[in-house]
Amino acid sequence: MNGLRRILKPIASLKITVVLFALSMFLILAGTLAQTEQGIWTVVDEYFRSLFVRVPLRLFAPQSKVHIPGAIFFPGGLTLGTLILINLLAAHIVRFKITWKRMGIILTHLGVILLLVGEFVTGAFAREGNMTIVEGGSSNYIEDTREAELALIDGSDSKDDLVVVVPESYLREPGRVISHNLLPFKVLVEAWMPNSQILGPMQSTPQQRSRANTGFGTQIAAVETPTATGVNGATVDVPSAYVTLLGDDGAIGSFLVSVFIDDPQTVVVGDKAYSIFLRFKRTYRPYELRLIDFKHDKFVGTDRPRNFSSDVRLIDPEMHVDRNVHIWMNHPLRHRGETFYQSSFLQGDTGTVLQVVRNPGWLLPYISCSVVTIGMLWHFGIKLGGFLRRQSR
């Protein structure tokens, strides 16, 4: 035991704690500033859930005025979080002693450990997505707005559609040729736009429209736009791509595919018709939600939303569930480990957008913050009591 303590003692040093706090503060500041040019999720992955991060120095000066070149490598959130955890655990092993007086500190730190673990669990396991339902319609899938996929659908079977889905990681490489044994053609990625804008027939030039020779792309064009940044509040990028389908005897056609385009484009190869479209990555659920009514109240004479809410019918045959639910601000629906929050709505109030979250660690922060609060009140309560006693003497 003594040997272990001797090893742990330097690791448990408060000096290390202070240094780690200072480094964390710098990382958080950098991660905040980075959101002026990057989307919040990119920043979270690069800065806070990474081992190392490359922090460009230009972030620390107003970029319209001064430009500082270069970058520094810095430990990422995962590294710092783990180190804080090790430091904290070592400290408690080395100095472990339960007394009334130390109880507050022990509880506080126990809570902090839970909080850090909770963030690890969230980072590793939590999934977020959107479910969009138009009024009168229903949905049984969840879209991940951080990732797109190219869907190629063979609808020739009257019972089931045969869907081949190309993940975004394949599409990000222009020039890549994608093939699948269920498809009688190959897909060549011509261009990939992580965030884009659609130009209508009047806005686009013929040259812009020449990138596609079949389908919608002959009338409209997509142009790349900067990806959304964390600070301007817009978090969703809308990707587009140009792809060429290659048959056995050469090109079948070049298409513009975009998440903006809801209607599938059809291409006939041999005796089969294939629908092709780019959409946010979907995962299907064994239950469905039907939107009965969406309500959106505004404050009199303004566009400021006062309240919005969705009346939905939840149908889950497996679980024998069929009931009406009212979802509104701060009042989500919880079903099968997933939580549905009222998040947004479609233009003209024609439908609702629900945020769907599955986070197995969602309870941890609740427990940890109660524990920390009790611990802190305990510790500082004892200190304050002592101070006031001394004062009154």
Partner 1 sequence: MTIPQRLMPWLMIALAALILAGAYSGREIEGPMDWEALGEIPVSASGRIKPLDTYARNTLMVISGRQTLVENGERVPAIRWYADVLARPDVAAKQDIFRIDHPDLVALLGFKTAQEGGKKRFSFDELSPNFEEISKQADLAFQVDAKNRDPFQRQALTLYNRVSLYLQTARVEAPYTVPPLKDGEEWRPMFVMTMSSQTLDNPAVRGWNDIFRAYAQDDAAGFNKAVQDYRGLIEPGLGSSMKKARSEVFFNEFKPFYQSMLLYVLAFLLAGAGFMLASLAKREWSKSLWNATMCVLLIAFAVHTGGLIFRIVLQGRPPVTNLYSSAVFIGWACVLIGIILEKIHRIGLAGMASAIIGFTTLIVAHNLANTGDTMEMMQAVLDSNFWLATHVVVVTIGYSATFLAGFLAIAFILLGVLTPLLRDDRGKALSRMIYGVICFGAVASFVGTVLGGIWADQSWGRFWGWDPKENGAVLIVLMNLLILHARWGGMIRERGVAVLAVCGNIVTSWSWFGTNMLGVGLHSYGFIDSAIFYMLLFVSSQLVVMAIGLTPWKHWRSFNPKVKAKREPQPRVQQQPA
Question: What is the rounded distance in angstroms from the CA atom of residue 31 to the CA atom of residue 26?
Answer: 8
Question: What is the rounded distance in angstroms from the CA atom of residue 269 to the CA atom of residue 129?
Answer: 34
Q: Which two tokens stand for residue 299?
A: 């404050």
Q: Per-residue x/- marks for partner 1, 273-302, CB under 8 A?
A: -------------------------xxxxx
CB of 86 to partner 1, least distance (A): 16
Q: How far is CA 29 from CA 17, 34, 156, in A?
A: 18, 9, 55
- By CB under 8 A, name the one of 155, 211, 365, 367 that touches partner 1: 365
Binding segment (CB under 8 A) for partner 1, from list 38-46, 168-176, 287-295, 314-322: 38-46
CB of 8 to partner 1, least distance (A): 16
Contact flag: residue 373 with partner 1 (CB under 8 A): yes
Question: What is the rounded distance in angstroms from the CA atom of residue 110 to the CA atom of residue 104?
Answer: 10
Kindly report the backbone phi and psi dihedral angles of residue 314, in degrees, each rounded to the nearest multiple of 5, phi listed first: -95, 120
Alpha helices (H) along the chain: 2-11, 14-33, 40-43, 77-94, 100-125, 168-171, 206-209, 364-392
Question: What is the rounded distance in angstroms from the CA atom of residue 122 to the CA atom of residue 116?
Answer: 10
Question: What is the rounded distance in angstroms from the CA atom of residue 129 to the CA atom of residue 227?
Answer: 19
Q: In 3D, which of 172, 267, 137, 179 has the Cα closest to residue 215?
A: 267
Would you call 87 helix, strand, or coil by DSSP?
helix
Binding segment (CB under 8 A) for partner 1, from list 31-39, 157-165, 196-204, 212-220: 31-39
Question: What is the rounded distance in angstroms from the CA atom of residue 131 to the CA atom of residue 137?
Answer: 12
Helix, strand, coil share of the chain (percent; to 5): 35, 40, 30
Contact flag: residue 24 with partner 1 (CB under 8 A): yes
Contact flag: residue 234 with partner 1 (CB under 8 A): no
- One-letter amino acid at 122 equals T
Nearer to partner 1, 149 or 237 (CB): 237
Binding segment (CB under 8 A) for partner 1, from list 44-52, 65-73, 164-172, 177-185: 44-52
Contact flag: residue 343 with partner 1 (CB under 8 A): yes
Nearer to partner 1, 14 or 268 (CB): 14
Contact flag: residue 265 with partner 1 (CB under 8 A): no
Q: Per-residue x/- marks for partner 1, 132-161, CB under 8 A?
A: ------------------------------
219 Cβ neighbours under 8 A, 6+ residues apart: 201, 209
Contact flag: residue 376 with partner 1 (CB under 8 A): yes
Contact flag: residue 57 with partner 1 (CB under 8 A): no
- One-letter amino acid at 199 equals L
Contact flag: residue 103 with partner 1 (CB under 8 A): no
288 Cβ neighbours under 8 A, 6+ residues apart: 138, 139, 140, 315, 316
Nearer to partner 1, 121 or 164 (CB): 121
Contact flag: residue 357 with partner 1 (CB under 8 A): yes
Cα diameter, the chain = 98
Do strands 351-358 and 127-134 pair parallel, antiparallel, or not at all (unpaired)?
antiparallel
Contact flag: residue 170 with partner 1 (CB under 8 A): no
CB of 191 to partner 1, least distance (A): 24
Q: In 3D, which of 392, 354, 316 has the Cα closest to residue 143?
A: 354
Nearer to partner 1, 167 or 381 (CB): 381
Nearer to partner 1, 218 or 339 (CB): 339
- By CB under 8 A, name the one of 70, 159, 391, 393 that touches partner 1: 391
- By CB under 8 A, name the one of 1, 2, 3, 15 that touches partner 1: 15
- By CB under 8 A, name the one of 1, 2, 14, 270 that touches partner 1: 14
Contact flag: residue 117 with partner 1 (CB under 8 A): no
Question: What is the rounded distance in angstroms from the CA atom of residue 55 to the CA atom of residue 340?
Answer: 36
Interface residues with partner 1 (CB under 8 A) are: 13-15, 17-18, 21-22, 24-25, 28-29, 31-33, 35-36, 40, 43-44, 47-48, 64, 115, 118-119, 122, 128, 230-233, 298-302, 304-308, 329-330, 332, 339, 341, 343, 355, 357, 359, 362, 365-366, 369, 372-373, 376-377, 380, 383-384, 387, 391
